[in-house]
Structure 1
Amino acid sequence: MLDQTLTQLRQLKLTGMANALVTQQEQPGTYEALSFEERLQILTDNELHDREYRKQQRLLKAAKLKIAANPQQIDYQHPRGLVRSQIASLSQCDWINKSQNLLLTGPCGSGKTYIACALAHAACMKGYRVKYYRLSRLLLELSQTKADGSYTKALQGLARLDLLILDDWGLEPLKAAQRNDLMEIMDDRNGTTSTAIMSQLPTNQWYQSIGDNTLADAILDRLMHNAHRIKLKGESLRAWLENADFDSLEQVNNDFVTERIPAAQRHEDMIWRLRVGDHWVYLYLLLEFQSSPDRWMALRMLSYTALLWERLVKQNELAPGAKLPPVLPIVLYNGEQPWKASTVLKDLCYPAPQGLQALQPRMAYLLLEERSLLHKAQGMENLAAAVFQLEFSAEPADIQRVIKELANWIELSAPSSLRRSLYRFTRRTSPCWHNGLNNGKKIFTRTDLKRGVKKGVKKGVKKGVKRGVKKAEKSAA
């Protein structure tokens, strides 16, 4: 009877109710004391939350944001003129509800795109329709629609967006046709929807970048008369990457523990270091594979960072007179609930009395929320994208598609444990597809290993490659 009910719920696309019903059946002790009405309320609540989450994910995917950002991850410690209270207010999206605009200016790498994408993420979470474009790409697409007769339809689609984000404004002078297209866009959206502009140029130079004074007046009047402004300053936040030597990247032992942090909870965390200029920078990756966010994660990260520094000191890994190395703390989260915990330690503390603010500990971490990043990983450009896709592929057909794409670029140089893990993954998670796929083993052994054999022969290591082929085929059998 339960199987039939679950099938019918899923046929009705009530997957949230179906999942909640399964949970109630699997945990009878938790729910048996509840009345029928209370248990039904839990089912309907779960369905509403599930629908809201799926809508948010559809909006995020459609937005095509350049960066998977979140307002909670914005860095306020870097001196660039960013006001926390202004970002907090904009994150509530009342400016979008009032059809107001946003103008972000500042030097390259100051964080304009990140801030805009973070605010766009907040808008998607509240149900607003958002789309990100580089201005040059949007104008190119509009010019192409004139050839196939879809120009009017494209303008109508832009007019329906609650928030249109235009990046790299003013990088190139506009041609006459582009000025006219931009005027059409701004006129359609004026007073009814919101537009966010990011530019390296200060607003007083936008007239010159547009070119025609009459059209420039009309376009900028529609943008500026009801706009919020954020003017960033300072050096590029990307500068450290330019000096990073990724060839020096190496994993660091993470066996340090305390009574408060049992070893069983620590072995999944990963630590690397790489050279940036003349010094090491440590990357601390915490794998947060829980169903719900940890409110105190910023405090935990402070503890883990202190433990890392303490170990470096105790084991004399620092040169005489050297200072502690910088640490980039990263949290990778794959839970179903959106991560709403603050990424900044300051938000977990009451405000310090005047005169004590500078003496308070500081900590912030970079959050990588897999579900938020999933729509950015559709291209399968790297192993991380493939892992994200595998983890959230629920149907056999989806798993098969990801596995086949993954097999196209896994080479013999990949660890044999990786191929075995992927093969076993499909066997455990989707036995029907696995058993029906006769060439399943070939995906991970013969096809890739044949390429490796050919490559190995050229290097004069025939014997070693043959031994590797036999071992890999045996392990996958």
Structure 2
Amino acid sequence: MALVNTTPELLSELKLHGIREALPKRLEELHSQQWSPSEFLNVCLQDEQLHRQNVRLLRRLREAGFPIPASLENLDFTSERKLKRSQIRELGSASFVTQGQNILIAGPTGVGKTHLACALGQAACRQGFTTLFFPLNRLLEKMALARAQGRYLNLLKKLTAVSVVVCDDFGLRALTPQQLQDIYDLVDGRVESLTTIITTQLPVENWSEVLPDPVLCDAITDRIVQKAILLEMEGESYRKKRFKGGHTDPP
């Protein structure tokens, strides 16, 4: 009996928290289901495995920095948005990450581009991929600060190692020459094997308006667009609908 009473403490000391949490239930099932010792051990190990998977998932979601929780299952698939349910369902497997494909989400303001980008990023996290989310202006500020502090190469190494980087609101304003170089460094380091998800109101053919150097504009555009999956969204702004008393948030 003393051994049973100390089991939870031993499990905590060994950091087997999944087994510890499920143990009371499993001990009841041991008798009711008439498990063999090996069956009981296998179930307990599965509990621990699931617990550790959930802990890692929560860590990935937290470190990604998503501004909102989002799910592909709750997207707005009405004809107004022009999203194809079958295509989004396929993207939910995060196969685009294993294939090193970028995703370009284009459309007018307020149609749910950020929500979709977050949902895709969180789907990637659930499939085990590391992800980082940045509004583009915040990312550029972060890169400028790192450069000033002599940490630019370390930051770039981090940004070109993570499986998925989400850049929200690309093309809101023209970039400076240094910002152009920073964006080139980022996309060049991620080309071919890593996924970048970009949301933008600006059609690709108009990117030269915000990427004023023709050579860097071509280089950046080519590295983003090649192998990219284009998701074009349409419809009335959710913010305008909220103002009118309609939908409160993107589904």
TM-score (norm 2): 0.94
Distance apart, 1:7 and its partner CA: 1.1
Deviation by residue 1:190-212 (Cα, 9 ceiling, x = unmatched):
11211011001111111221111
Identify the residue that residue 231 of structure 1 maps to in structure 2.
232
Give 1:3 shift. Answer: 3.1
Greater relative contact order (Cα < 8 A, sep 6+): 2
Instruction: Give the number of the structure whose alpha-carbon radius of gyration is greater.
Output: 1
2:13 match: 11
Contact 2:30/2:40 (CA < 8 Å) preserved in 1?
Answer: no
The CA distance in 2 between the partners of 1:108 and 1:13, in whole Å, is 47
1 CA distance for matches of 2:4 and 2:80?
59
1:290-326 CA-partner distances (Å, limit 9, x unpaired): xxxxxxxxxxxxxxxxxxxxxxxxxxxxxxxxxxxxx
Deviation per residue, 1:446-469 (Å, 9 max, x gap): xxxxxxxxxxxxxxxxxxxxxxxx
Query: Percent of aligned pairs with the same residue?
Result: 32
- CA displacement at 1:216 relative to structure 2: 0.4
Runs in 1 of length 4+ with deviation above 2 angstroms? 24-31, 237-240
Deviations 1:124-166 (A, max 9, x none): 0011000100111100111111121111100001001100000
Q: Which residue of 2 aligns with 1:241?
A: 242
Partner of 2:107: 106
In the alignment, which of 19, 22, 33 is matched to residue 20 of structure 1? 22
CA distance in 2, matches of 1:71, 1:80: 14
Deviations 1:364-398 (A, max 9, x none): xx6xxxxxxxxxxxxxxxxxxxxxxxxxxxxxxxx
Deviation at residue 86 of structure 1 after TM alignment: 1.0
**Structure 1 pair 11–78 and aligned structure 2 pair: CA distance change class (3 A):** farther
The aligned counterpart of 1:143 is 144
8 Å Cα contact 2:26/2:44 also seen in 1: no
Q: Which runs of no fewer than 5 residues in structure 2 stay unpaired? A: none
Q: Does 1:185 align with 2:203?
A: no
CA distance in 2, matches of 1:29, 1:76: 48
How far apart are 1:91 and its partner, in Å?
A: 1.0
Unaligned stretches of 5+ residues in structure 1: 245-275, 282-327, 329-365, 367-477
Do the aligned residues in 2 keep the contact of 1:67 with 1:113 (CA within 8 Å)? no
Q: Kindly tell me the number of residue pairs found equivalent between the two proteins.
A: 247
Q: What CA distance in whole angstroms lies between the structure 2 residues aligned with 1:238 and 1:43?
A: 48
SS in 1 for 2:198: strand
The DSSP-based 3-state class of the residue aligned with 1:103 is strand
The equivalent residue for 1:66 is: 67
* Matching of residue 134 in structure 1 with residue 135 in structure 2: yes
Alignment of 1:333-348 (within 5 A): none
Q: How does 1:39-438 map to 2 (within 5 A)?
A: 39-77=40-78, 79-244=80-245
CA distance in 1 between partners of 2:28 and 2:238 (Å): 49
Please give the root-mean-square deviation of Cα atoms over the aligned residues, in Å.
1.6
Q: Residue 20 of structure 1 contacts residue 42 of structure 1 at CA under 8 Å; is this kept in 2?
A: no
Shift of 1:34: 1.2
